[in-house]
Amino acid sequence: DMLHDFKQEFIEFLSRNPQIVTNSTFIPNKSKTLVVLSPLSTKHSFGRHWVTKTYLSTIVERPQRLLASSMGIAAAISMYPAHYTLMSSTKRSPLTSPHVLKIHGKNWPGDIEKICVESEEKLKKGEVEVPDGWNSGDIYLTKTSLDALTGVIGAVETAIDSIFKDDDETPRRAFVAIRPPGHHSHPCVPSGFCLINNAHIAIEYAAMTQGVTHAVILDFDLHHGDGSQDICWQKAGFEPDFGEISAGYEDGDDDPDEHTKKDANTPKVGYFSLHDINSFPTELGYAIPTNIKNASTCIMAHDLNIWNVHLQPYTTEEDFYKLYQTKYSILLQKADEYLTNARREHEDLIRQNEKIKSPRHQIPPFKAFVVISAGFDASEYEVQTMQRHGVHVPTSFYSKFTSDAVKLANKQCNGTVLSLLEGGYSDGALTSGVFSHLVGFQRQSWESGWGHSDVIKELIKGCRPNWKPLKNPSNEVKNWANQVCKLGRVMV
């Protein structure tokens, strides 16, 4: 049992805090949030042993991110233990799975696998293991990266299989703690730490196995999910900006050129993003006109449902929530508009199809879900190098936005939500962000004090390699954080 140590520690936690059990109310399983851990995700690590310590410190996408995420998970469980159920996925699914090939084409997954296998010899010789055309500053691979990638696909499948179960015993919502992230991954081009597009792969799998016809991606990572948006263009029948278009189409299909458009592929996907327009991939050095236009696109036509909103600086939390109400929440309004229109159009198609005596195809019923690309690098606790352009969000944002996303899902798609870890690179950003995100998943109260720097400082102590629990914590916060750190550390 991968979670044996956690279960033992959790029992001890409850015995030390009986008031939590006393004050808890009964929560039906279907109303809980499933948290899926992915131990295999730690297998993706930086293998260039010859680099300097200074260079190594710039590699922010690291296995230790999952420990920081676990601290946030543990913090949420400590506050609302009846609201969550935990699962550890060691399932491996090949890069040649049909739902991966549908997104990345027939060649790209095989290319990644080949590079992973060949990396071992190259790294031994002190050679950079990725091809010359790749950005070796943010993309790296080792032989065991293959374990991580197949584990990511397996964890995503595990979550989808669970949240779509047609019973009252399974949660309708899931958060999957995986890495590497995916939203910068184009059909055939890796970018920004991302090798495969986890969100789109999840949607394809849900379409193939659960009959999903439509999905929404809500992306609140600091950086624009250019890969996720690019795949939406491809699914709408247009040529994507990056990668070989032929890789994404079935044999016998004609590839569209820049003046034509194919019929949209199903499932249909809307992409709605809140991000910093001055950060990668639209930062100085990357900010070509195409990238800036893409990160600013707002369109609800031509089978495209894409809406981008740029973060703005704020002074007080009150100022931030004025921006939230007047500017940021439009993402949720547009996602709602997309699903409302999509349902009507889809049901019209079904009615038209029923009038045909011998229809060529049966149209499945409308079925949608919400996917959150949950990056926490816009956190107020992210490293300054990530926040060099002066925009961030308060910790409470993750709870508020997630709660509103669940409200949208309750209205439009039976409450079905899948959240996938994207960015977030400091221990503070991940711990505080995941904590807030999971509280929002359950639409529970987020207390302002929980995001205070003194609280987060105590929680992230548990991320230290040599951390040891305090024997006699000097105050209530230290005592609580001490117990949370114990819970978090036994998850990884």
Q: pLDDT for 343-391, tens place per residue?
A: 999 999 999 999 998 888 889 999 999 999 999 999 999 999 898 999 9
Q: Which residues have CB under 8 Å from 100's CB, separation 6+?
A: 94, 109, 153, 196, 201, 204
pLDDT recorded at residue 256? 46
Task: Give which of 330, 324, 421 is closest to 371, Cα–Cα.
Answer: 421
Each residue's pLDDT tens digit, 310-321: 999 999 999 999
- Classify each residue of 120-145 as buried b or exposed e, where b means 16 or more C-beta atoms within 10 Å of its C-beta: eebbeeeeebeeeebeeebbbbbbbb
- What was the pLDDT predicted at 134? 92
User: Three-class SS string for 161-225?
Assistant: HHHCCCCCCCCCEEEEECCCCCCCCCCCCCECCECCCHHHHHHHHHHHHHCCCEEEEEECCCCCC
- Residue 245: pLDDT band by 50, 70, 90 thresholds? very low
The pLDDT of residue 23: 85
Helix (H) / strand (E) containing 34: strand 33-37
Span 186-200, mean pLDDT? 95
Taking only the tens place, the pLDDT of each residue in 90-101 is 999 999 999 999
Specify the residue for token string 């045909």: 356
CA–CA distance, 468 with 106 (Å, rounded to integer): 48
Given a contact cutoff of 8 angstroms between Cβ atoms, the answer to whether 430 and 69 are in contact is yes
Q: Which residues are catalytic?
A: 184
List pLDDT tens digits, range 88-136: 999 999 999 999 999 999 999 999 999 999 999 999 999 999 999 899 9
What is the share, in percent, of the chain residues with pLDDT greater than 90? 87
Adjacent-strand bridge partners of 85: 34
- Please say if the pLDDT value at position 249 is more than 80: no
Q: Is the pLDDT of residue 5 over 70?
A: yes
pLDDT of residue 299: 98
Coil, strand or helix at 153: helix
3-state secondary structure of 46: coil
Q: Which residues pair with 35 in a beta bridge?
A: 86, 175
Residue 251 has pLDDT above 50, yes or no: no
Which tens digits make up the pLDDT trace of 29-66? Answer: 999 999 999 999 999 999 999 999 999 999 999 999 99
Question: Which pLDDT score, from 0 to 100, does residue 242 have?
Answer: 66
Q: Which amino acid is at 32?
A: K
Comparing 434 with 242, which gets the higher pLDDT?
434
Q: How far is CA 435 from the centre of its chain?
A: 15
Give the single-character DSSP code of 393.
Answer: B
Alpha carbons 279 and 484: distance in angstroms, whole number: 33
Whether 248 shows a pLDDT value over 60: the answer reads: no
Residue 24: the pLDDT is 83
Q: Provide the pLDDT for residue 259.
A: 57
- Amino acid in the structure at residue 170: T
- Average per-residue pLDDT for the chain: 94
Whether the per-residue pLDDT at 340 is higher than 70: the answer is yes
What is the rounded distance in angstroms from the CA atom of residue 307 to the CA atom of residue 317?
24
In angstroms, the CA 473 to CA 479 distance is 5
Average pLDDT of span 428-452:
98
pLDDT of residue 444: 95
CATH class of 4-12+66-79+175-250+265-354+364-489: alpha beta
Which band of pLDDT confidence, cut at 50, 70 and 90, is reported for residue 257? low
202-221 pLDDT per residue, tens: 999 999 999 999 999 999 99
